[in-house]
């Protein structure tokens, strides 16, 4: 991987080179997606509404739309392309649990995790579980305005069963597990035997498990999370992520689990809606 990184250039400039490398199965480029709806802390500005269906009193359907502004068609198509490749991996390699991470904060991994999960949930007979694995910043939980209550940290702390903490959403096949109330060090929680037990349970109960993990740089949480997952996608913000930081972070991921790199915010070429850099096996 080291030959694809240069100390002085940005991520967009090494994207075409990845196309020539056969070591990655999936490399998808996501079109520029408006990030202004999310504050630096990961909290969405517009309030997410909760609806209580009459047939299930007291059971909230979590809305996954964090803004009234719809995704542009090019972004929808790009997420659909990424979904297709994830589905191919599921069939070819039996991928059931997928961790999304990034080098540093604010690269768009949480929005990418959410939109990929929503895209996958549109397929029939495929139940998706989206997990907020960033127990420190709780980015996904903040983005979706998940109500206070038990979540992943509570399960890892032995305080609740996982099925009691999972929330249904407005999408019939999409379910969300929030971060919960943090008690203890995340690294210790993910190092316990309960994390692989959770992944085993979730993989049996759902078609695909998508984990929004913390950034790799300066934290060990993502490495511990990836140990229990089948595969890893790394989100890189084009024109922003320094090569030496990305190189350092990629080297900390098990190469057998690194499925590809998603470039977020990559400007479109003239005459196209989005760009995709594919890699042959």
Confidence of residue 37 (pLDDT cuts 50, 70, 90): very low
Confidence of residue 77 (pLDDT cuts 50, 70, 90): confident
Q: Residue 280: CB partners within 8 Å, gap ≥ 6?
A: 22
Confidence of residue 101 (pLDDT cuts 50, 70, 90): very high
Range from 71-80, 99-108, 122-131 that averages highest in pLDDT:
122-131
Task: Return the minimum-mean-pLDDT range out of 44-48, 89-93, 170-174.
Answer: 44-48
pLDDT of residue 124: 82
pLDDT of residue 66: 56
Range from 17-21, 32-36, 200-204, 255-259 that averages highest in pLDDT:
200-204
Distance CA 243, CA 8 (A): 7
Residue 271 burial by CB count (10 A; 0-12/13-18/19+): exposed, middle or buried? Answer: exposed
Please check the confidence at residue 268 and state whether its pLDDT lies above 70.
no
Q: Within 13 Å, how many C-alpha atoms sit on residue 235's CB side?
A: 30
pLDDT of residue 186: 93
Q: Within 13 Å, how many C-alpha atoms sit on residue 133's CB side?
A: 35
Identify the helix (H) or strand (E) that includes residue 83.
helix 73-93
pLDDT (average), residues 262-271? 63
CB-CB neighbours of 219 under 10 Å: 16
| pLDDT tens-digit readout, 238-266 | 777 777 888 788 888 888 898 888 887 76
With CA atoms as reference, report the closest residue to 107 among 36, 35, 27: 35
pLDDT of residue 79: 85
Confidence of residue 174 (pLDDT cuts 50, 70, 90): very high
Distance CA 151, CA 148 (A): 9
Q: Are 221 and 184 in contact (CB under 8 A)?
A: no
With CA atoms as reference, report the closest residue to 89 among 236, 204, 276, 257: 257
Range from 28-37, 64-73, 102-111, 272-281 that averages highest in pLDDT:
102-111
Percent of the chain with pLDDT over 70: 69
- Average pLDDT, whole number, for the chain? 75
Provide the token pair at 80.
């659909």
pLDDT of residue 241: 74
pLDDT of residue 47: 34
């Amino acid at each position: 991987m080291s030959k694809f990184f240069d100390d002085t250039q940005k991520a967009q400039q090494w994207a075409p080179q990845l196309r020539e490398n056969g070591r990655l199965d999936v490399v998808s480029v996501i079109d520029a997606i408006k990030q202004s709806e999310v504050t630096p802390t990961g909290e969405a500005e517009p309030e997410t509404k909760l609806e209580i269906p009459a047939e299930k009193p007291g059971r909230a359907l979590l809305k996954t739309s964090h803004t009234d502004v719809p995704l542009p068609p090019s972004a929808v198509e790009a997420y659909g392309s990424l979904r297709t490749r994830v589905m191919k991996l599921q069939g070819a390699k039996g991928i059931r649990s997928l961790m999304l991470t990034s080098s540093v904060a604010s690269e768009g991994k949480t929005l990418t995790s959410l939109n990929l999960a929503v895209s996958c949930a549109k397929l029939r007979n495929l139940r998706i579980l989206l997990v907020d694995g960033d127990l420190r910043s709780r980015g996904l939980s903040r983005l979706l305005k998940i109500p206070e209550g038990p979540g992943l940290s509570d399960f890892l702390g032995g305080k609740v069963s996982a099925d009691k903490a999972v929330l249904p959403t407005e999408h019939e096949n999409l379910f969300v597990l929030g971060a919960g109330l943090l008690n203890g060090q995340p690294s210790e929680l993910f190092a316990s035997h309960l994390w692989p037990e959770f992944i085993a349970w979730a993989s049996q109960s759902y078609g695909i498990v998508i984990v929004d993990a913390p950034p790799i740089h300066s934290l060990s949480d993502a490495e511990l999370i990836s140990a229990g997952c089948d595969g890893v996608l790394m989100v890189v913000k084009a024109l922003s992520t320094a090569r030496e930081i990305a190189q350092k972070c990629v080297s900390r991921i098990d190469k057998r689990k690194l499925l590809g790199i998603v470039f977020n915010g990559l400007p479109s070429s003239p005459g196209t809606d989005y760009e995709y850099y594919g890699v042959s096996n």
